[in-house]
């Protein structure tokens, strides 16, 4: 790969500037000053220093965030979005979001420049399960578990949800697993059961779990292992 392509791919500078600065001796590959910005490198093996800074190459970025309340799951909005929470370095990349969350919902959201992977995660045909922790206004009753299994009529009866799972934690708290992402789905499922969601937090998407060390509003890049897990996602539970 051309060294100017490598450096511009990770948004360090434009190819035009790299050409100019290389001529001035600001480009070093494996300890040698390179004045020609079309010089070929192995982006994963060669050590590239541009303008005194080591350049790390990557094809895509994969981030997990613990979304706080009050922040919009969108890449572009007048109100504060999850993108606004990222450091300056990340702001220059075009992120896609896997699975939007309501403004008042917290928990796991995936941001990535890998549009193909995000598309696969949110595709309804893929049946990727999301796990939520739910706090409810009223007590959970045994029948709710069966109703989740059977599918629940939402939106005034014009949609029946796919089979889902409700796991009771205590009187008013449970885990819910759904494979779809209809608008306000969890809230509407409980509304149909004459209950009301007070708090909602997403804990898991497929096999990827929210890192418990991430406080609300914090994020980190995914490990190679976690990226592979998302790419080779398998069903993680049976109803
Ligand atoms: N279901 C909801 O109702 N809201 C969310 O944010 C996610 C799932």
- Rounded Cα–Cα distance for residues 201 and 207 (Å): 16
Average pLDDT over residues 125-146: 94
CA of 182 to the centre of ligand 1 (A): 8
How many other CB atoms are there within 10 angstroms of residue 6's CB atom? 23
Query: Is the pLDDT confidence value at 4 over 80?
Result: yes
Catalytic residue positions? 102
Band (90; pLDDT cuts 50, 70, 90): very high
Among protein residues, the one whose CA lies closest to atom 3 of ligand 1: 184
Q: What is the per-residue pLDDT across 203-219, written as a single tens digit (0 to 9) for each?
A: 999 999 999 999 999 99
Q: Is 200 in the pocket of ligand 1 (CB under 6 A)?
A: yes
Letter string b/e over residues 31-56, b meaning 16 or more CB atoms within 10 A of that residue's CB: eeebeebebebebeebebebeeeebe
Band (239; pLDDT cuts 50, 70, 90): low
Is the separation of the CB atoms in 125 and 181 below 8 Å? no
Average pLDDT over residues 223-239: 79
For 137: left if phi > 0, alpha if psi spans -120 to 50, otherwise beta; the answer is: alpha
Q: What is the per-residue pLDDT across 137-169, written as a single tens digit (0 to 9) for each?
A: 999 999 999 999 999 999 776 899 999 999 999
Q: What is the pLDDT of residue 58?
A: 94
Q: What is the per-residue pLDDT across 193-204, written as a single tens digit (0 to 9) for each?
A: 999 999 999 999
Query: Is the pLDDT confidence value at 116 over 80?
Result: yes
Query: Is the pLDDT confidence value at 125 over 90?
Result: no
Q: Is 101 in the pocket of ligand 1 (CB under 6 A)?
A: yes
Mean pLDDT of the chain: 93
Helix (H, G, I), strand (E, B) or coil at 214: coil
Q: What is the per-residue pLDDT across 9-40, written as a single tens digit (0 to 9) for each?
A: 999 999 999 999 999 999 999 999 999 999 99
Cα angle, residue 180 at apex, residues 179 and 182 outer, rounded to 5°: 155
Q: What is the per-residue pLDDT across 183-192, written as a single tens digit (0 to 9) for each?
A: 899 999 999 9
Band (57; pLDDT cuts 50, 70, 90): very high
Q: What is the pLDDT of residue 117?
A: 92
Q: What percent of the chain has pLDDT over 90?
A: 82
Q: Is 189 in the pocket of ligand 1 (CB under 6 A)?
A: no
Q: What is the pLDDT of residue 237?
A: 56
Pairing relationship of beta strands 173-178 and 130-136 according to DSSP bridges: antiparallel
Q: What is the pLDDT of residue 234?
A: 64
Is the separation of the CB atoms in 39 and 49 below 8 Å? no
Query: Is the pLDDT confidence value at 107 over 80?
Result: yes
Higher pLDDT, 186 or 124: 186
How many other CB atoms are there within 10 angstroms of residue 59's CB atom? 10
Q: Which atom of ligand 1 is nearest to the CA of 187?
A: 3
- Rounded Cα–Cα distance for residues 54 and 48 (Å): 6
Cα 160 versus chain centre, distance: 27
């Amino acid at each position: 790969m051309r060294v100017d392509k490598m450096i511009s791919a990770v948004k360090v500078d434009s190819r035009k500037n790299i050409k100019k600065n290389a001529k001035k001796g600001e480009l070093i590959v494996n300890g040698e000053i390179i004045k020609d910005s079309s010089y070929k490198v192995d982006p994963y093996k060669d050590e590239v220093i541009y303008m005194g800074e080591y350049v790390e190459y990557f094809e895509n970025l994969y981030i997990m965030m613990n979304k706080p309340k009050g922040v919009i799951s969108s890449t572009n909005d007048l109100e504060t979005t999850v993108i606004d929470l990222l450091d300056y370095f990340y702001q220059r990349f075009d992120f896609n979001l896997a699975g939007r969350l309501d403004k008042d919902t917290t928990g796991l959201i995936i941001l990535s420049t890998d549009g193909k992977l995000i598309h696969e995660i949110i595709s309804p045909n893929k049946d990727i399960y999301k796990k939520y922790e739910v706090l409810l206004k009223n007590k959970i009753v045994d029948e709710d578990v069966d109703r989740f299994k059977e599918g629940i009529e939402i939106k005034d009866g014009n949609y029946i949800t796919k089979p889902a799972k409700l796991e009771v934690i205590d009187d008013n708290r449970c885990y819910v697993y759904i494979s779809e992402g209809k608008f306000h789905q969890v809230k509407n499922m409980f509304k149909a059961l004459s209950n009301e969601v007070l708090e909602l937090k997403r804990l898991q998407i497929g096999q990827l779990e929210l890192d418990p060390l991430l406080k609300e509003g914090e994020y980190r890049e995914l490990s190679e292992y976690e990226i592979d897990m998302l790419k080779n996602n398998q069903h993680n539970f049976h109803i």
